[in-house]
Amino acid sequence: MKFNFFKKKFAWAIFYTILLTSFTLYAVLDTFVITRVYASVEADERGSDESIASTKSSSLNESENTYSDQNISITITEYREYDTNIYVADVYVSSAEYLQTAFAQNSYGKNITEKTSSIATSNNAILAINGDYYGSQTKGYVLKNGELYREAASEDQEDLVILADGSFEIIKEGDVTAEALLKNGALQVLSFGPALVTNGSVCVSESEEVGKAKASNPRTAIAVVDDLHYLFVVSDGRTDESEGLSLYQLAKFIQSLGANTAYNLDGGGSSTMYFNGEVINNPTSNGKTIKERSVSDIVYIGY
């Protein structure tokens, strides 16, 4: 009797259509909507407003494009290259502790997202860019501010490691464990890529792209010039005003600014640069509306 059900034409067709549709709906919700929090970052780990206020000295100097105090100096410059607006933050810090990362909603988990500007505001960031969007992948190291959250390796994944002294190192997850990186003093691991510049030389080919992308796009990248001197780079794209950059164009541009090591972060609609309380680029997913996309994490300069 039970077995006969499988032999009925329409009953089985209706049953299986409902089953397949339900499963597909669940897969979509599980991938894009259902939120799971695996760990929360405690407020005291991020510093209090009082301590930040006291650290910012009376030498604070802010303008539309610059910020400087006793520990941090930032200058924003807008370039026009490859029919694209590119925003560069030239950053000097007195210690690598001011180069930080933060999770959306200060939580590590699945489908936890928030706009770059919102994460930046809640972490008192002076300058921020979107990070590696760890939440879109099930593998790849997640190591933020000296805490290891995910150690599942993706063999060929190229990561940027920011060490305690502020230096950058490019590694492959297949070659070293997340535990070993932590033991060796890694403060941050960014798992997106690829590396754009190493030892001052461009290391992407003209045809190389992220995943399955094959066109110019909005981009986000981070680079180190020399000791505690960094570049945060974001380009517009997908609009009539700005075409966007290929990885090779991005690498050539950053190399021309004197970068020693540069690394590509999540781009496209995620690309956002926040400075002194405002988003300064034109983030867009579809090229028509200028709107920030919610992301998993940011890289920022702040106390």
Peptide bond into 218 cis (omega under 30): no
- Find out whether 237 and 180 touch, Cβ atoms under 8 Å: no
What's the min distance (Å) between Cβ of 171 and another protein?
21
Grouping H, G, I as helix, E, B as strand and the rest as coil, residue 62 is: strand
The number of angstroms, rounded, from the C-alpha of 3 to the middle of its chain's C-alpha atoms is: 53
What's the min distance (Å) between Cβ of 262 and another protein?
21
For residues 240 to 279, the per-residue mask of contacts with another protein, x marking binding by CB under 8 A and - elsewhere, is ----------------------------x-----------
* Cβ nearer to another protein, comparing 121 with 137: 137
Transcribe 121-147 into DSSP letters: HHTTEEEEEE---GGG-SSS-EEETTE
How far is it, in rounded angstroms, from Cα 133 to Cα 125?
Answer: 18
Angle at 295 between CA 293 and CA 299, to 5 degrees: 115
Answer for which of 14, 18, 22, 27 binds another protein (CB under 8 A) is 27
What's the min distance (Å) between Cβ of 292 and another protein?
17
- Find out whether 102 and 40 touch, Cβ atoms under 8 Å: no
Q: Which stretch binds another protein (CB under 8 A): 96-104, 122-130, 178-186, 213-221?
A: 213-221
35 is a contact residue toward another protein (CB under 8 A):
no
215 is a contact residue toward another protein (CB under 8 A):
yes
What's the min distance (Å) between Cβ of 217 and another protein?
7
The number of angstroms, rounded, from the C-alpha of 50 to the middle of its chain's C-alpha atoms is: 28
Residues touching another protein: how many (CB under 8 A)? 33
106 is a contact residue toward another protein (CB under 8 A):
no
Q: Which stretch binds another protein (CB under 8 A): 14-22, 78-86, 197-205, 249-257?
A: 14-22
Answer for which of 213, 277, 288, 290 binds another protein (CB under 8 A) is 213
Answer for which of 35, 77, 95, 138 binds another protein (CB under 8 A) is 138
* Binding residues for another protein restricted to 158-197, rule: CB under 8 A: none
217 is a contact residue toward another protein (CB under 8 A):
yes
* Cβ nearer to another protein, comparing 217 with 242: 217
* Cβ nearer to another protein, comparing 100 with 216: 216
How far is it, in rounded angstroms, from Cα 234 to Cα 138?
Answer: 26
30 is a contact residue toward another protein (CB under 8 A):
yes
211 is a contact residue toward another protein (CB under 8 A):
yes
* Cβ nearer to another protein, comparing 133 with 275: 133
CA dihedral for 270, 108, 182, 92, sign (positive or negative): positive
Q: How far is CA 207 from CA 7, 155, 203, 245, 248, in A?
A: 53, 22, 12, 12, 8
Q: Which stretch binds another protein (CB under 8 A): 12-20, 75-83, 101-109, 252-260?
A: 12-20
3 CB-contact burial (10 Å; exposed 0-12 / middle 13-18 / buried 19+): exposed
Q: How far is CA 9 from CA 17, 62, 69, in A?
A: 12, 73, 75
How far is it, in rounded angstroms, from Cα 265 to Cα 267?
Answer: 6
136 is a contact residue toward another protein (CB under 8 A):
yes
Residues within the interface to another protein (CB under 8 A): 6-9, 12-13, 16-17, 20, 23-24, 26-28, 30-32, 133, 136-139, 210-215, 217, 238, 268, 286-287
